[in-house]
Structure 1
């Protein structure tokens, strides 16, 4: 058995590379379907959402399974557009291999580079498929040059192509009889294998074609090299060679179905009647229908539930099954509390790390009908379940809901989804960049039970210290674990983490260590509510004393534009606070590389077509956060605000039976 993920790049220009069409062609080649579906007609097996079929793009990842000879392939078709990178994010942890699709017409796009860098960093074996050889403008030599320059120099073409740009375009796999191929393969593989190099130096004839292909499979599995296949999903040219590459060059899945169950949830959706279902890639063991299953989240949350039904994927369709075993993907029903990223079984997988940048945009979403406010909250909660990188932020006092986003296309999709699936029409009120806050130094505060102005039956002391960039939030205790009941300890930690969602200027506080320095309670009357009420006041006071700095998201960028227009673009870059390096000129094109704030990237994407006669190309990737220069932007603070103590206490506490207790 093998697991395959089929990942395609995308860009804001929305040109399609044909990855969903390639999935259809592979299903047809395997005999799983009788007729190839069309993206334009909305008849493909993987683009099942009405919105996907109408727009002709993939929005949600989909699973199909088929057999190629003796090899079972589980294929995950993921979105290509960068606004839906969250869908790719959750799939990466369950891959055995990937096929990265590039258009032989449009060439290497920005998102292609981001994806291959990530796949290489994670050590996921990756084949490249240059699609659309039948389309006018299809390239071979220049495309390989571009791939070597912009993706990886460690590539080798696996075949030749003829009749490019016509419906009769064909591809022919190279063999051991092709001296050019043998030479290229030898040169590539000996760069990474000293033993192979020594054998070649001693006797070139020792490197037989079979030995070279074995070394190619071994180095592909180690993500050292990337074979490149040419073809057309539309006509079927080159598909047989790609199939052979998938079965012979990508490594098989491993896992013992008799071992304790272990798997990862990479997708959650709901049935037509609202029942939550989880897509699980099983690494070890077996999950059976009707069994009680334990699962854990990346945050340590543990839960369990009874599996009411199991579905597996066979010949392009989902079918009911009694169990899902190691190496397979299953769809489990009945686990009401399960979330994306959860690990199945006793051993929790390392799924807490993030492969791609978080969203850098935020927009307020409001229902067009006031009476839909409650329905909007429910609908956004369900969308957040299915998309954990897209956070929902509620301000109950202002009656506003903000949604974090990757881009404008995603905003359009969210609007259409809310209308079509939930019957809620919404508007977005502008788009802002999401910043972060970090402590500028250490700060500490404490309030004690029975001592004014503390109205709660709780003692809480907290210290905030800066931590290295990218480290997130760590909570420590400098008090005895037995000094309070565990429930009260948990209340302090959980509330402290929630309070850090709003710093001094309203942004999330990160890269810090919060240490509990004082604790105390009334063994008769104190409740967790006392600690949940007091902790925000103490932590906010500690942050005030520490001070915070606001950091904005930055992107590395590479801008390519006609050389005669570069002079007009440089003032635009300056206005967007970009820091470009010296430009380079290659024929009639000039390139500029540098860094700029994320807000400038989104603005430049909007301006570029008109400023470059439609010839400009912008590549960008997240480069981290840096301190804001000048006045720090502020985000409106939501909910009960501990920065304003009197108002916070009025909203948080009440007098009951002669004592102050937390409000419910």
Structure 2
């Protein structure tokens, strides 16, 4: 029997959980259809999910249809919980993207699409709510092909149970070689179609109504016919995609087995064994002795695992792309602060993107979040799970910093009986690339082990910018030369010189006005009545935002504005919309990444950050003379380095940087 792991992803209210119910019902896994609005959906098991009518946590179900065994992972739909959805994507064979026939392609759907591409997940599309007034199949298909991919193809079958000629032609057009064969033979074999789907060139589209179970059989038939299972490795491997705690407080590590076989009591990390292997069906589970490659289970007994971790021969997943953009302090009110910290750390164990930090000097717990809905859920979780009444205050924007020009930074660390010098080339990276570290230095110039010390030291701590002390991002850092001493260089010398070189280069760029502050932006979708459009457009302009599109709906005299705006300006705008539309309007937004700060001077002034006074991140270098160490300020470093600079000012000026940097 073929086994596939499939995740259902969607913008909130598109009908994702309703589709899960319909799939379970059609395959006999459940005998009664639950409803989200009635709080009895099979996979929305948490009390908060039932109350809010949205999926907050990912859930697992197993179903069988024909010769297909399907592990179904239902994921959160609200943008505030997108980080939990992203954690699931690396373990999927295929995804089902649910799109509402009446809502177009919202910004969060586009975000999901980009994430699915990032993790190379093949996608089926289910267009839901086709029974709603105003639903237009051709209009939705055109939107999908324009906004997502030309490969979005309705997989309609003819009387001979083959794809229609129109579907085959559109599928063939997505690959030049396939198109040539198709034009020559007039046929498209099933294995070829499976390959096009698996390679993300073609995306099967199905239309229906999950609530009325229309189109569900066609979708299931399509999953049986057009999917192919992943090829497992011979050696054992597994990838962690979620951490939870059950109602008894037992810590669960959720994994997808990628190769070999997972057996109970196996030692997966040093001195830690998988005590139980649980296969879940909603809230219920079965304890099994082993789990085969391709299957999903939850493990007990592991204490140090984390989402994205590779076990056995599996590699860790790439770092998550989605990140929190707001930070709040925890107000314990009458609760004990240490008890609150322990509870918050348990929640951070489940969701590392919370980034829970503790400041002993201020006696303050801080967390990072995606939005206000997540904040409300955190507050409720603290009450329900830990019997703690807390609030969250002092919300702040999480800014970042980057550079706009190249610079060679140098760092020297030579207190008595120590020695290391490092030169780093700093270049602007592509937007969203983070920090990249590499080397062009030959082993004759700097031995491999010393280069390794440099390249492991740079990412070992969070590197900060020099404008407001925010995290540095989108910078390509290259080791271009360095020097050590066989006699005096000891562990840690290259770490110190590397950090100082990076910092010194940033200070040089700061002096030239080539450092900038980045702020998070939202992509928004604002629905209002047509007579309120002028008010809304003026508001968005005042928020330094931009409107990309304006569309009148076919009913209800409404207009939909889409665009983007800074998080700092728009995060409280939903209340304003609710007030001037008397509760009839709606504002949806999702984090669209970081862009240059719209009010940089104001932000820098408010931060009042002195980079030379940051003792944890010194930009100067340390030399020795007459048996005593002394510090050279960052601006005097170039004239005191032992090694000549690799790049001249003219070479740095001539460098070309990637688009979007």
Q: Provide TM-score, normalisation by structure 1.
A: 0.76
Where does residue 434 of structure 2 map in the other structure?
472
| Partner residue in 2 for 1:656 | none
Call closer, same or farther: CA 1:188–1:328 in 2, change over 3 Å. same
Indicate how the Cα distance of structure 1 residues 620 and 306 shifts in structure 2: closer, same or farther if over 3 A, else same. closer
CA distance in 2, matches of 1:589, 1:31: 41
**1:405 match:** 369
CA separation of 1:595 and 1:235: change in aligned 2, threshold 3 A: closer
Q: Is residue 2:158 matched to residue 1:175?
A: yes
Structure 2: gaps of 5 or more residues: 619-661
Matches within 5 A, 1:474-513: 497-498=460-461, 500=463, 505-510=468-473, 511=475, 513=477
Q: Contact 2:97–2:123 at 8 Å: present in 1 too? A: yes
Matches within 5 A, 1:614-629: 614=584, 622-626=592-596, 629=599
Q: Corresponding residue for 2:347?
A: 383
Aligned partners of 2:361, 2:109: CA distance in 1, in Å?
Answer: 43
1:336 and 2:303 equivalent? yes
Q: Residue 205 of structure 2: SS of its match in structure 1?
A: strand
Comparing 222-231 with 326-335, greater Cα deviation is found at: 222-231
Change (3 A) 1:630 1:495: closer
- Matched residue, 2:257: 282
- Where does residue 631 of structure 2 map in the other structure? none
Q: Retained in 2: the 8 A contact 1:6–1:78?
A: yes
Match of 2:115 among 118, 122, 127: 118
Whether contact under 8 Å (1:260, 1:284) holds in the other structure is yes
- Of 310, 313, 318, which aligns to 1:346? 313
Which deviates more from structure 2 when the two are superposed, residues 101-110 or residues 309-318? 309-318
Cα deviation for residue 437 of structure 1 reads 2.0
SS in 2 for 1:509: coil
1:94, 1:101 → 2: CA distance?
A: 19
Question: Which whole-Å CA distance do the structure 2 matches of 1:642 and 1:193 have between them?
Answer: 56
Per the alignment, do residues 175 and 621 of structure 1 end up closer, same or farther by CA in structure 2, a change over 3 Å counting?
A: farther
Partners of 1:531 and 1:146 in 2: how far apart? 54
Mapped contact 2:107–2:525 kept (Cα < 8 A) = no
SS at structure 2 position matched to 1:247: helix
1:544-601 superposed Cα distances (whole Å, 9 cap, x missing partner): 5664532223455676766654443333222111245697889988777665333344
When residues 287 and 619 of structure 1 are mapped into structure 2, their CA distance, relative to the original with a 3 A threshold, is same
Match of 2:358 in 1: 394
Equivalence for 1:367: 332
> Does the alignment pair 1:228 with 2:201?
no
Q: Give the distance between the partners of 1:424 and 1:239, measured in 2 at CA.
A: 43
- Inter-partner Cα distance in structure 1 for 2:494 and 2:192: 62
Distance in 1 separating the partners of 2:402 and 2:236: 40
Query: Which residue of structure 2 lines up, in the alignment, with residue 130 of structure 1?
Result: 127
Alpha-carbon distance in 1 for matches of 2:537, 2:303: 54
Task: State how far apart, in whole Å, the 1-side matches of 2:177 and 2:472 are.
Answer: 51
Q: Which residue number in structure 2 is paired with residue 26 of structure 1?
A: 23
Once the two structures are TM-superposed, the CA of residue 445 in structure 1 deviates from its matched residue by 4.5
Q: Deviations over 1:394-446 (max 9, x none)?
A: 33222222222111111111111112112222222243221112357454454
Residue of structure 2 equivalent to 1:192: 174
Distance 1:522 1:283, change over 3 A: same
- Counterpart of 1:235 in 2: which secondary structure? coil
Counterpart secondary structure, 2:72? strand
Q: C-alpha distance in 1, partners of 2:74/2:381? A: 20
Contact residue 263 and residue 343 of structure 1 kept, 8 A: yes
Deviation at 1:236, TM superposition (A): 2.4
Question: How much has 1:3 moved relative to structure 2?
Answer: 2.6
Helix, strand or coil for the counterpart of 1:437?
strand
Equivalent in the alignment of 2:655: none
Question: What secondary structure does 1:227 align onto?
Answer: strand
Report how far residue 79 of structure 1 moved.
Answer: 0.5
Is the CA contact (8 Å cut-off) linking 1:33 and 1:315 kept in structure 2?
no
Looking at structure 2, the residues matched to 591 and 35 of structure 1 have their Cα atoms a distance apart, in angstroms, of 37
Compute the displacement of 1:80 (Å): 0.7
Contact 1:278 1:338 in 2 (8 A): yes
- In the TM superposition, what is the alpha-carbon distance from 1:30 to its structure 2 partner? 2.1
Residues 136-176 of structure 1: per-residue CA shift (max 9 Å, x gap): 665544444443444444334346xxxxxxxxxxxxxx533
Return the offset for 1:201. Answer: 5.2
Determine which of 594, 606, 613 is the counterpart of 1:643.
Answer: 613
CA distance in 2, matches of 1:445, 1:6: 48
Secondary structure in 2 aligned to 1:401? strand
Closer, same or farther in 2 for the Cα pair 1:65/1:552, shift >3 Å?
A: same
CA contact (8 A) 2:257 2:291 kept: yes
Equivalent residue, structure 2, for 1:598? 567
1:237 to 204, 214, 221: 214
Per-residue deviation, residues 77-98 of structure 1 (Å, max 9, x unmatched): 1011111111111111111111
Of 277-286 and 462-471, more deviation after overlay is shown by 462-471
CA distance in 2, matches of 1:227, 1:607: 40
Indicate the SS of the match to 1:46.
coil
5+ unaligned residues in a row in structure 1: which ranges?
Answer: 160-173, 295-302, 451-456, 649-664
Q: Does 1:433 align with 2:415?
A: no
Confirm whether residue 37 of structure 1 aligns to residue 34 of structure 2.
yes
| Inter-CA distance 244–471: structure 2 relative to 1 (3 Å threshold) | closer
Bigger shift: residues 553-562 or 123-132: 553-562
Distance 1:285-1:620 versus aligned 2 partners, 3 A rule: same
Cα deviation, 1:616-641, whole Å, max 9, x if unaligned, reads 77666625432555415259999xx9
Deviation at 1:363, TM superposition (A): 2.0
Q: Does the alignment pair 1:419 with 2:383?
A: yes
**Do the aligned partners of residues 238 and 586 (structure 1) sit closer, same or farther apart at CA in structure 2, a change above 3 Å counting?**
closer
Q: Compared with structure 1, are the counterparts of its residues 311 and 520 closer, same or farther at alpha carbon in structure 2 (3 Å cutoff)?
A: farther
Query: Aligned in 2, Cα 1:504/1:600: closer, same or farther, shift over 3 Å?
Result: closer
* 2-structure distance, mates of 1:22, 1:138: 18
- Residue in structure 2 matching 1:633, options 599, 603, 608: 603
Mapped to 2, the partners of 1:316 and 1:245 lie a distance apart of: 28
Is the contact between residue 95 and residue 124 of structure 2 (CA under 8 Å) also seen in structure 1? yes
- How many residues matched? 599
What SS does the aligned partner of 2:255 have?
A: strand
1:554–1:625 contact (8 Å) kept in structure 2: yes
The alpha-carbon deviation at position 113 of structure 1 amounts to 2.4
Aligned residue in 2 for 1:574: 541
Farther off after superposition, 471-480 or 321-330: 471-480
Do the aligned partners of 2:521 and 2:567 also contact (CA within 8 Å) in 1? yes
Aligned to 2:649: none
